[in-house]
Amino acid sequence: MIGLTVATGLARCGLSVTVLDRQPAPQWQAQAYRRQVTSLNRASEDWLDQLGAWGRIEAWRATPVRRVEAVDGHDGPSVAFDAADSGASHLSHIVESELLVAGAAAAAEQAGVRRCHPVSVSDWQTHADRLELLLDDGRWLSARLLVAADGGASPIRQLAGIPVATGDYEQAAVVSVIEGHRGHGGVARQRFMPGGPLAYLPLGERHAAVVWSRPEAEADRLLDLPTDAFGAELEAAADGWLGGIASLGEPGRFPLRRVRAARYSAGRVALVGDAAHVIHPLAGQGANLGIADARALSATLGNAVARGRDPADRLALRRYERSRREANDRMQCAMDAFHWGFGTDEPWRRALRRSGFALTRESTWLRRCFMERAMSG
């Protein structure tokens, strides 16, 4: 989804853009809710709207989040963030990731982006004014800039020789979709527990995407349970959110890792999204950071090209990195701090975080600051 948004942004700046993808973009069909979802803040929605993608996505199936409720454990303090407190209609939208990719692909096609699939880059030769890319099907392609939007393991980043700092949260996110006995009312709920948070993200009227971060062995155990037993443990952890579980989709899992690239460009290669940074998903900000990368890279390179500069101009790429590095690092540090503070029930950490909950609950100004930061990226 990040690669398609940056491709569309660059194409709208007048550049000739080709997307190399290992698989074709999905054709959206409104079937059962998918378990992989993305939380889009208002800044991301605005950028997708400028690209011509958001109207299509919203019309297909996007659920607004008007309120977020967070609670510490089963008997601890809670805090709520309500869009109305900031005079906004909503805080974010929950969108199925497949739908988001389909909408971004349609906008890219409309902008004149070419697509090649299934294909990936195997190697390249560097020349003074271009790269000659060797594709895995044996073809060669010439480009002045190669943008890596190929995920946290990024083969392009490795080929470019950009080092990374990595970390393992020793957790996996167990994901599923449930239907509740009652509607969610546009409220997202999150419970912080030892071992990892549990989140219910609203879909439609009575459905919710479940993201349950658990230690890896515990995640494996949950996935090995029969559906009824898994549902019973989930319902006990959620304390009856949505009136209990009426139906439960098949669960899946993905490992939780931390990635921080040493730099966002090397020669004629630039990194965006997870290729540059991967954070813990507990605040749902990973995709928003990637979309902000796409927006910044498009704006920076658009300005350079408008002045007759090379799209791989070193100063332009450094300017792009400076515009994004601080925000991405700050969010990664914040997520690591949350993981550290909520990942254990040691008495002193519990006392510290409960003081934080109480302070946030009592301060309208502090809640508004959190909401404005979350909505604007």
| Residue 78: per-residue pLDDT | 84
Amino acid in the structure at residue 209: A
Domains of the chain, residue spans: 2-65+86-170+257-376
pLDDT higher at 338 or 175: 175
Residue 360 has pLDDT above 80, yes or no: no
C-alpha 99/C-alpha 361 separation (Å) is 35
The model's confidence at residue 282, banded by pLDDT at 50, 70 and 90, is confident
| Residue 343: per-residue pLDDT | 65
Buried b / exposed e across 207-224, counting CB within 10 Å, b at 16+?
bbbbbbbbbeebbeebbe
Predicted confidence (pLDDT) per residue in 12-27, tens digit: 999 999 999 998 877 8
Task: Give the position of tokens 């895995």.
Answer: 136
| Residue 118: per-residue pLDDT | 92
Residue 342 has pLDDT above 80, yes or no: no
| Residue 113: per-residue pLDDT | 97
| Residue 371: per-residue pLDDT | 64
The model's confidence at residue 376, banded by pLDDT at 50, 70 and 90, is low
Residue 159 has pLDDT above 80, yes or no: yes
Residue 348 has pLDDT above 70, yes or no: no
Residue 246 has pLDDT above 70, yes or no: yes
Cis ω on the peptide bond leading into residue 347 (within 30° of 0)? no
The model's confidence at residue 345, banded by pLDDT at 50, 70 and 90, is low
Q: Is-contact 184 208, C-beta < 8 A?
A: yes
How does strand 187-192 pair with strand 207-215? Answer: unpaired
Residue 374 has pLDDT above 70, yes or no: no
The model's confidence at residue 365, banded by pLDDT at 50, 70 and 90, is low
- Fold adopted by 2-65+86-170+257-376: FAD/NAD(P)-binding domain (3.50.50)
Mean pLDDT of 73-100: 89
Mean pLDDT of 252-280: 96
Mean pLDDT of 238-253: 94
Residue 195 has pLDDT above 90, yes or no: no
Report in angstroms the alpha-carbon separations of 204 from 23, 33, 94.
28, 9, 9
Mean pLDDT of 139-166: 97
| Residue 193: per-residue pLDDT | 87
For residue 376, the surrounding DSSP H or E stretch is helix 364-376
Predicted confidence (pLDDT) per residue in 44-61, tens digit: 999 999 999 999 999 999
Weakest-pLDDT range from 143-152, 186-195, 333-342: 333-342
C-alpha 166/C-alpha 99 separation (Å) is 30
Mean pLDDT of 101-127: 95
Residue 100 has pLDDT above 90, yes or no: yes
pLDDT higher at 284 or 137: 137
Joined tokens for residue 107:
């906008």
Predicted confidence (pLDDT) per residue in 324-336, tens digit: 999 999 999 988 8
| Residue 222: per-residue pLDDT | 97
Query: Average per-residue pLDDT in the chain?
Result: 91
Residue 362 has pLDDT above 80, yes or no: no
Residue 368 has pLDDT above 80, yes or no: no
Q: Is-contact 321 265, C-beta < 8 A?
A: yes
Quick one: angle between helices 314-342 and 347-362, nearest 10?
110
Mean pLDDT of 62-78: 88
Q: What percent of the chain has pLDDT over 70?
A: 92
| Residue 75: per-residue pLDDT | 76
Q: What sections of 32-133 are H helices per DSSP?
A: 42-50, 54-61, 97-110
